Amino acid sequence: MTFADKVIAFNTQLEYTGSLPDGIQIMNPFRENPAVLDLSSQFYHKFYADNRPRRLILGINPGRHGAGLTGIPFTDPKRLAEQCGIPFSGPKAHEPSSVFVYEVVAAYGGLEAFFGDFYINSPCPLGFTKTNEQGKEVNYNYYDSKALTAAVYDFILDSMDKHLTLGVRRDKAFCMGSGQNFKFLDKLNREKGYFDQLIPLEHPRFVMQYKSKEKLAYIERYLELLAD
Protein backbone atom coordinates (compact mmCIF):
# COMPACT_ATOMS: atom_id res chain seq x y z
CA MET A 1 0.00 0.00 0.00
CA THR A 2 1.17 3.49 -0.77
CA PHE A 3 1.08 6.36 1.70
CA ALA A 4 -2.06 7.54 -0.11
CA ASP A 5 -3.76 4.16 0.25
CA LYS A 6 -3.11 4.15 3.99
CA VAL A 7 -4.45 7.67 4.48
CA ILE A 8 -7.58 6.91 2.45
CA ALA A 9 -8.17 3.75 4.49
CA PHE A 10 -7.74 5.79 7.68
CA ASN A 11 -10.25 8.39 6.49
CA THR A 12 -12.74 5.72 5.39
CA GLN A 13 -12.92 4.16 8.84
CA LEU A 14 -12.98 7.43 10.81
CA GLU A 15 -15.88 7.42 13.25
CA TYR A 16 -16.44 8.71 16.74
CA THR A 17 -18.90 6.62 18.74
CA GLY A 18 -18.43 8.06 22.23
CA SER A 19 -20.51 10.63 24.04
CA LEU A 20 -19.92 14.39 23.93
CA PRO A 21 -20.65 17.21 26.39
CA ASP A 22 -24.01 18.93 26.00
CA GLY A 23 -24.05 21.46 23.19
CA ILE A 24 -21.08 20.01 21.29
CA GLN A 25 -21.56 18.30 17.92
CA ILE A 26 -19.12 16.07 16.06
CA MET A 27 -18.17 16.98 12.49
CA ASN A 28 -17.29 14.00 10.31
CA PRO A 29 -17.23 15.08 6.66
CA PHE A 30 -16.38 11.57 5.49
CA ARG A 31 -19.72 10.31 6.85
CA GLU A 32 -21.81 13.42 6.26
CA ASN A 33 -20.90 14.08 2.61
CA PRO A 34 -20.09 11.20 0.22
CA ALA A 35 -18.22 13.57 -2.12
CA VAL A 36 -15.59 14.35 0.54
CA LEU A 37 -14.00 10.92 0.53
CA ASP A 38 -13.69 11.09 -3.27
CA LEU A 39 -12.22 14.61 -3.22
CA SER A 40 -9.69 13.80 -0.52
CA SER A 41 -8.79 10.53 -2.21
CA GLN A 42 -8.00 12.40 -5.43
CA PHE A 43 -5.71 14.70 -3.44
CA TYR A 44 -3.83 11.88 -1.72
CA HIS A 45 -3.49 9.83 -4.90
CA LYS A 46 -2.07 12.92 -6.60
CA PHE A 47 0.52 13.87 -3.97
CA TYR A 48 1.08 10.77 -1.82
CA ALA A 49 1.11 7.83 -4.27
CA ASP A 50 4.47 6.52 -3.03
CA ASN A 51 6.07 5.14 0.10
CA ARG A 52 8.27 8.08 1.06
CA PRO A 53 8.52 8.66 4.81
CA ARG A 54 7.14 12.04 5.76
CA ARG A 55 7.20 14.22 8.83
CA LEU A 56 3.89 14.76 10.56
CA ILE A 57 2.46 18.23 11.13
CA LEU A 58 -0.32 18.20 13.70
CA GLY A 59 -3.04 20.83 13.74
CA ILE A 60 -5.86 20.94 16.30
CA ASN A 61 -8.98 19.51 14.70
CA PRO A 62 -10.73 20.19 11.38
CA GLY A 63 -12.61 23.43 10.80
CA ARG A 64 -15.94 23.92 9.04
CA HIS A 65 -14.56 25.80 6.01
CA GLY A 66 -11.42 23.73 5.39
CA ALA A 67 -11.19 20.01 6.07
CA GLY A 68 -14.86 20.07 7.06
CA LEU A 69 -15.64 20.55 3.35
CA THR A 70 -12.70 18.90 1.59
CA GLY A 71 -11.53 16.21 4.02
CA ILE A 72 -7.98 17.56 3.70
CA PRO A 73 -6.48 19.41 6.67
CA PHE A 74 -5.81 23.11 6.01
CA THR A 75 -7.10 22.82 2.44
CA ASP A 76 -10.23 24.82 1.74
CA PRO A 77 -12.29 24.44 -1.47
CA LYS A 78 -10.60 27.40 -3.15
CA ARG A 79 -7.08 26.05 -2.55
CA LEU A 80 -8.18 22.56 -3.58
CA ALA A 81 -9.43 23.80 -6.95
CA GLU A 82 -6.99 26.60 -7.75
CA GLN A 83 -3.77 25.27 -6.22
CA CYS A 84 -4.22 21.49 -6.32
CA GLY A 85 -6.16 21.29 -9.59
CA ILE A 86 -8.99 19.20 -8.12
CA PRO A 87 -12.43 20.57 -9.08
CA PHE A 88 -14.83 21.35 -6.25
CA SER A 89 -18.51 21.76 -7.08
CA GLY A 90 -19.72 22.93 -3.67
CA PRO A 91 -19.46 26.34 -2.03
CA LYS A 92 -16.07 27.97 -2.56
CA ALA A 93 -15.51 28.59 1.13
CA HIS A 94 -12.46 30.50 2.29
CA GLU A 95 -10.38 29.52 5.33
CA PRO A 96 -7.63 31.96 6.40
CA SER A 97 -5.53 29.12 7.82
CA SER A 98 -5.53 27.44 4.42
CA VAL A 99 -4.32 30.65 2.78
CA PHE A 100 -1.32 30.78 5.11
CA VAL A 101 -0.48 27.09 4.77
CA TYR A 102 -0.49 27.26 0.98
CA GLU A 103 1.77 30.30 1.06
CA VAL A 104 4.16 28.21 3.16
CA VAL A 105 3.81 25.38 0.64
CA ALA A 106 4.71 27.74 -2.23
CA ALA A 107 7.67 29.19 -0.33
CA TYR A 108 8.90 25.69 0.50
CA GLY A 109 9.13 24.81 -3.20
CA GLY A 110 5.62 23.94 -4.29
CA LEU A 111 3.05 21.21 -3.85
CA GLU A 112 5.16 18.21 -4.81
CA ALA A 113 8.09 19.30 -2.69
CA PHE A 114 6.05 20.09 0.41
CA PHE A 115 3.65 17.17 0.32
CA GLY A 116 6.53 14.88 -0.54
CA ASP A 117 8.13 15.77 2.79
CA PHE A 118 5.15 16.43 5.08
CA TYR A 119 1.78 15.01 6.00
CA ILE A 120 -0.72 17.20 7.86
CA ASN A 121 -3.39 15.87 10.17
CA SER A 122 -4.55 16.44 13.74
CA PRO A 123 -4.47 14.63 17.08
CA CYS A 124 -8.25 14.72 16.80
CA PRO A 125 -8.93 14.15 13.08
CA LEU A 126 -12.64 14.95 13.39
CA GLY A 127 -13.94 18.41 14.17
CA PHE A 128 -16.44 19.87 16.61
CA THR A 129 -18.98 22.67 16.50
CA LYS A 130 -21.23 24.47 18.96
CA THR A 131 -23.92 27.09 18.64
CA ASN A 132 -22.85 30.40 20.14
CA GLU A 133 -25.00 32.95 21.95
CA GLN A 134 -25.92 34.59 18.65
CA GLY A 135 -27.27 31.28 17.33
CA LYS A 136 -24.36 30.80 14.92
CA GLU A 137 -22.57 27.48 14.48
CA VAL A 138 -18.86 27.92 15.21
CA ASN A 139 -15.77 25.72 15.38
CA TYR A 140 -14.86 24.20 18.73
CA ASN A 141 -11.44 22.82 19.69
CA TYR A 142 -10.83 19.56 21.50
CA TYR A 143 -9.13 21.48 24.34
CA ASP A 144 -11.76 24.22 24.71
CA SER A 145 -13.30 22.39 27.66
CA LYS A 146 -11.91 19.79 30.03
CA ALA A 147 -15.07 17.76 29.53
CA LEU A 148 -14.54 17.51 25.77
CA THR A 149 -10.83 16.71 26.15
CA ALA A 150 -11.69 13.90 28.55
CA ALA A 151 -14.47 12.59 26.30
CA VAL A 152 -12.27 12.32 23.20
CA TYR A 153 -8.99 11.39 24.93
CA ASP A 154 -9.11 7.71 23.96
CA PHE A 155 -10.10 8.65 20.41
CA ILE A 156 -7.03 10.92 20.24
CA LEU A 157 -4.76 8.13 21.48
CA ASP A 158 -6.16 5.72 18.91
CA SER A 159 -5.80 8.32 16.13
CA MET A 160 -2.21 9.09 17.07
CA ASP A 161 -1.32 5.39 17.00
CA LYS A 162 -2.86 5.11 13.54
CA HIS A 163 -1.04 8.22 12.30
CA LEU A 164 2.24 6.48 13.13
CA THR A 165 1.36 3.50 10.91
CA LEU A 166 1.02 5.64 7.77
CA GLY A 167 4.74 6.01 7.19
CA VAL A 168 5.64 9.10 9.20
CA ARG A 169 9.11 9.74 10.55
CA ARG A 170 9.57 9.47 14.29
CA ASP A 171 12.65 11.69 14.68
CA LYS A 172 10.77 14.97 14.47
CA ALA A 173 7.19 16.19 14.21
CA PHE A 174 5.55 19.61 14.31
CA CYS A 175 2.63 21.08 16.20
CA MET A 176 0.57 23.94 14.77
CA GLY A 177 -0.39 25.97 17.80
CA SER A 178 2.26 26.97 20.31
CA GLY A 179 -0.23 27.39 23.16
CA GLN A 180 -2.78 24.86 24.35
CA ASN A 181 -2.33 22.46 21.45
CA PHE A 182 1.41 22.22 22.03
CA LYS A 183 0.96 21.96 25.79
CA PHE A 184 -1.37 18.98 25.37
CA LEU A 185 0.66 17.26 22.64
CA ASP A 186 4.02 17.84 24.30
CA LYS A 187 2.77 16.18 27.49
CA LEU A 188 1.29 13.33 25.48
CA ASN A 189 4.50 12.89 23.50
CA ARG A 190 6.57 12.76 26.67
CA GLU A 191 4.28 10.06 28.05
CA LYS A 192 3.94 7.98 24.88
CA GLY A 193 7.26 8.60 23.11
CA TYR A 194 5.77 9.18 19.69
CA PHE A 195 8.59 11.42 18.43
CA ASP A 196 12.12 12.30 19.45
CA GLN A 197 11.26 15.98 18.98
CA LEU A 198 7.97 17.85 18.85
CA ILE A 199 8.45 21.38 17.54
CA PRO A 200 5.81 24.11 18.01
CA LEU A 201 4.73 26.38 15.16
CA GLU A 202 2.44 29.36 15.47
CA HIS A 203 -1.03 28.36 14.34
CA PRO A 204 -1.94 29.71 10.88
CA ARG A 205 -5.22 31.11 12.20
CA PHE A 206 -3.36 33.10 14.86
CA VAL A 207 -0.98 34.51 12.25
CA MET A 208 -3.75 35.50 9.85
CA GLN A 209 -6.04 36.95 12.52
CA TYR A 210 -3.57 38.75 14.77
CA LYS A 211 -0.21 38.99 12.98
CA SER A 212 -1.12 39.45 9.32
CA LYS A 213 1.30 42.36 8.90
CA GLU A 214 4.11 40.03 10.01
CA LYS A 215 2.98 37.11 7.85
CA LEU A 216 6.16 36.93 5.78
CA ALA A 217 8.25 36.69 8.93
CA TYR A 218 6.12 33.80 10.14
CA ILE A 219 6.47 32.04 6.78
CA GLU A 220 10.24 32.40 7.06
CA ARG A 221 10.07 30.99 10.57
CA TYR A 222 8.11 28.00 9.30
CA LEU A 223 10.69 27.37 6.60
CA GLU A 224 13.50 27.59 9.13
CA LEU A 225 11.88 25.11 11.49
CA LEU A 226 10.71 22.72 8.76
CA ALA A 227 14.17 22.51 7.23
CA ASP A 228 15.84 19.15 7.77
By C-alpha distance, which of 135, 52, 40 is closest to 88?
Answer: 40
Q: Where are the alpha helices (DSSP H) in the chain?
A: 3-13, 29-32, 34-47, 67-70, 77-82, 96-108, 111-117, 146-164, 180-192, 204-210, 215-226
Dihedrals phi, psi of 28, to nearest 5 degrees:
-125, 90
Q: Is 198 left (phi over 0), alpha (psi -120 to 50) or beta?
A: beta
What pLDDT was estimated at residue 41?
97
What pLDDT was estimated at residue 202?
97
Give the tens place of pLDDT for each residue, 8-55.
Answer: 999 999 999 999 999 999 999 999 988 999 999 999 999 999 999 999
pLDDT at 60 over 90: yes
Domain count, the chain: 1
pLDDT at 166 over 90: yes
Dihedrals phi, psi of 152, to nearest 5 degrees:
-100, 5
pLDDT at 65 over 90: no
- Name the residue range of residue 143's domain: 3-226
In our burial notation (b when 16+ CB lie closer than 10 A, e otherwise), range 179-209 reads eebbebbeebbeeeebbeebbbbbbbbbbbe
Instruction: Report pTM.
Output: 0.95
pLDDT at 64 over 90: no
Give the tens place of pLDDT for each residue, 86-142.
Answer: 999 887 888 999 999 999 999 999 999 999 999 999 999 999 999 888 888 889 999
How many degrees, rounded to 5, is the angle at CA 28 between CA 27 and CA 31? Answer: 140
CATH for 40: 3.40.470.10
What pLDDT was estimated at residue 66?
85
